[in-house]
């Protein structure tokens, strides 16, 4: 499963990228706001850091304007994936932009039917939002499983990008289901390395080593 980092924090992306933990990046208007930087400037910097897809989101709501914004964003770098909302206008824009050979990430997906439409429109990625479904007492990982089954049934090439990842459990669950990609904030990715038994075992080893009175260097 590929790891995308859900942030516009260049320093955090660089740290994870140096560890080989970054296969791509996803951004959105909220993350751009949090960064406090110009969208074109920060997106160009991110594209220069990572080799994989960098999702940059349009803000228009009508198809023609989405297409125009998508083309503008795609000019930033070859690895831009234009991020479009899963609306009827978004699907129209998706069809046009993918027909032009551009990567498209269709976002804000909350049903298998929506994911089916996105695949039919040629989306490169579909982004089901797990955490937001959990917020309304539904199991977001069930949606990942439904989309996986539908896409496998018909050989769709659209990659399932599990989004709105809130916890390390989400990461494990979508990996078991077979999501192609997951995108998560940097802190969630870092927490994947943590386990209380690892911490306890390390402390035991260090205490025993201290008793030996030895040094390696």
Catalytic residue annotation: 83
CA distance 198 to 216: 22
Through-space distance between the first and last CA atoms of the chain, rounded to whole angstroms? 38
What is the distance, to the nearest Å, from the Cα of residue 53 to the centroid of all Cα atoms in its chain? 10
16 phi/psi in degrees, rounded to 5: -70, -35
CA distance 179 to 4: 12
- In the Cβ-directed half-sphere of 164, how many Cα atoms lie within 13 Å? 19
Show the beta-strand stretches assigned E in 15-162: 24-26, 54-57, 80-85, 103-109, 125-128, 159-162
């Amino acid at each position: 499963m590929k790891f995308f980092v859900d942030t516009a924090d260049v320093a955090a992306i660089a740290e994870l990228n140096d560890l080989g933990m970054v296969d791509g990046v996803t951004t959105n208007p909220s993350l751009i706001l949090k960064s406090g930087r110009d969208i074109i400037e920060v997106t160009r910097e991110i594209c220069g850091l990572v080799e994989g897809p960098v999702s940059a989101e349009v803000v228009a709501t009508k198809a023609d304007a989405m297409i125009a914004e998508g083309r503008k964003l795609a000019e930033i770098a070859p690895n831009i994936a234009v991020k479009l909302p899963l609306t009827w206008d978004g699907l129209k824009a998706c069809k046009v932009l993918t027909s032009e050979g551009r990567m498209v990430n269709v976002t804000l997906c909350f049903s298998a039917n929506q994911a089916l439409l996105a695949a039919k429109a040629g989306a490169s990625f579909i982004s089901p939002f797990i955490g937001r479904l959990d917020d309304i007492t539904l199991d977001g990982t069930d949606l990942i499983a439904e989309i996986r089954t539908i896409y496998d049934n018909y050989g769709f090439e659209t990659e399932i990008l599990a989004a709105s990842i809130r916890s390390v459990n989400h990461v494990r669950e979508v990996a078991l289901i077979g999501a192609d990609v997951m995108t998560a904030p940097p802190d969630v990715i870092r927490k994947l390395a943590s386990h209380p038994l690892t911490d306890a075992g390390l402390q035991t080893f260090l205490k025993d080593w201290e008793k030996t009175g030895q040094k390696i260097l």
